[in-house]
Structure 1
Amino acid sequence: MTGPANDEVTLVIDRSVAVVLFEFLSRNVDDADGETLADFVEDEAEIPALWALLAGLESVLTEPMAEDYERRVIAAREAVIRRFGGAFSGKGDA
């Protein structure tokens, strides 16, 4: 099986995961031009790659333009925690 000719990949993720990722990336990569992640990146190409991921999410999500965006983010976070559990002990509460 060969990949698309344009060298793109298709990623299928849960909508709640996409909303949580969008919110995280827009806060930490877009708003601060990635400076908040400077201590965590190994190579300067990682920030533009995250910008590209953010742009991809933005192109398919309607939630960021919704009037109740903040409520939708909270609901998405809760759904992700329910499905996958929390990453940090005691911090899984929304």
Structure 2
Amino acid sequence: MAEPANDEITLVIDRSVAVVLFEFLSRTVDDADGEALIDYVEDEAEIPALWALLAGLESVLTEPMAEDYERRVLAAREAVIKRFGGAFSGKGDD
């Protein structure tokens, strides 16, 4: 199979996951040029790569421009937790 001329890929993810990722990236990568992630970045290329992911999500999502964006983010978070579970669920319940 030949490589696409523009070397792009297509990623298919659940809309709720996309909204949660968009919100996270908006807060951590877009604000202050990614300084919130400085302790977690291994290479300077990682922040621009996250900017590109944020821009890609922004280009396909309508939620960020919705009047009820905050409510939609909360609903998306709930859907993600329901589908995949929480990252910190059960921590400290020893």
Q: Provide TM-score, normalisation by structure 1.
A: 0.92
- 1:90: how far off? 4.7
Letter in 2 for 1:50: L
Higher alpha-carbon Rg: 2
Q: CA deviation at 1:31?
A: 1.2
Over the residues paired in the alignment, what is the CA RMSD in angstroms? 1.2
Runs of 4+ in 1 over 4 A off after TM superposition: none
TM-score of the superposed pair, with normalisation by structure 2: 0.92
Corresponding position of 2:70: 70
SS in structure 1 at match of 2:32: coil
Q: Which residue identity lines up with residue 8 of structure 1 in the other structure? A: E
Q: Structure 2: how far apart are the matches of 1:82 and 1:90?
A: 15
Q: How many pairs were matched up?
A: 91
Query: Identity rate of aligned residues, in percent?
Result: 90
Structure 1 gaps, min length 5 = none
Q: Is the 8 A contact 1:29 1:50 kept in 2?
A: yes
More helix by share: 2
